[in-house]
Amino acid sequence: MRKGPQTPVLHWLSIPLLAGATTAAWAAWLGWDQHRDVHPDGSETGPYQAWQVIGLGLTVLALAYWAASRGHTAAATLGTTAGLTLASYYDWSDDGSGLFMIGVSLITLASLAATGTLALALAAAKHKPTRAKDRHP
């Protein structure tokens, strides 16, 4: 039984579906926390805590793994990258300095590298050639 995409339509439809799931993951993990924490010495941190960013990263990697292990390699890479890029742009675009585009660009590059590496590793592991001594006559 074949596990990969059955039709080209299903294959290309998986990209916007995964982008939507990734955007929803951003909203669930990071979208509700918009306030910076002011410390007694006047310094500011935030708005996100480390556990929120780690949770988002693990969720996105799980989504990418799920898609790539089912043969949707392009969706695993492009869908998650598009979802994170759109979510970060929307969340950070109210920054008056214009520096938010640097952060959005870094999110795009990092998610493309991480999910692309994961998808390629899964594809390579799936199509690993068998050695001659492992074959049965």
Per-domain boundaries in the chain: 15-26+47-126
pLDDT digits (tens, 9 = 90+) for 45-76: 778 889 999 999 999 999 999 998 888 888 89
Q: Based on C-alpha coordinates, what's the Rg of the chain?
A: 19
| pLDDT band for position 12 (cuts 50, 70, 90) | confident
What would the pLDDT profile of 76-121 be if each residue is shown by its tens digit? 999 999 999 999 999 988 888 888 999 999 999 999 999 999 989 9
> What pLDDT score does 1 carry?
47
Q: Phi then psi for 131, rounded to 5 degrees?
A: -80, 155
CA distance 102 to 34: 19
> What is the structure's pLDDT at 134?
54
